[in-house]
Amino acid sequence: MRDPEKVRARARESRQRHPEKERERKRRFNEKNPEKRAEHLRNYRNRDPERARNHVRQRRAMLLEAPGDGVGVEDWITILDWTSGLCAYCGSGEKITPDHVIPLVHGGAHDITNIVPACRRCNCSKKDTPVSKWAPDWLLPWWIVVAAITTTERTPRG
């Protein structure tokens, strides 16, 4: 009979050696089991509410300290107009959220020149990875989207 502790240790080592496979396995599991994912998040927040609140505080602090002018409602509507309300990465129109092309943790600005609409699937799989490193096979030519957004004439806020 197999030693369960050795089996767990080998599985853990394999996950550490192949993090991309582990991320893909988790992504597929979460797609197939959204109710289990939601339950897991609820349990996490209930089990350690201070840690969950701290995560939210860190994100807000990062947004406040990020360079850039911020993105207001009018800016977001303008961005959605430029892309017809579709995901800048895959073209989907479902569950659109703002995404920082250059993530804040990598020095990206929190302003209209660094934000594109992204469906939840793209935004969640990209996480804090720069687009140039994330770029899955089905990705639209993101550099065209970014070039269009950063070169379009805009009126300054004020």
* pLDDT tens-place string over residues 84-101: 899 988 888 899 999 988
Residue 55 forms part of a structural domain? no
**Quick check: pTM over 0.75?**
no
Domain region containing 156:
68-158
User: Residues 33, 82: one domain?
Assistant: no
Question: Residue 81 belongs to a domain with what CATH number?
Answer: 1.10.30
User: Residues 29, 76: one domain?
Assistant: no
Task: List alpha helices for the chain, DSSP H.
Answer: 4-17, 19-32, 34-47, 49-65, 73-82, 120-126, 131-134, 142-151
Residue 157 pLDDT level (bands cut at 50, 70, 90): very low
User: Residues 102, 135: one domain?
Assistant: yes
pLDDT at 149 over 80: no
Residue 53 forms part of a structural domain? no
Dihedral sign from CA coordinates of 12, 10, 5, 27: positive
Number of domains within the chain: 2
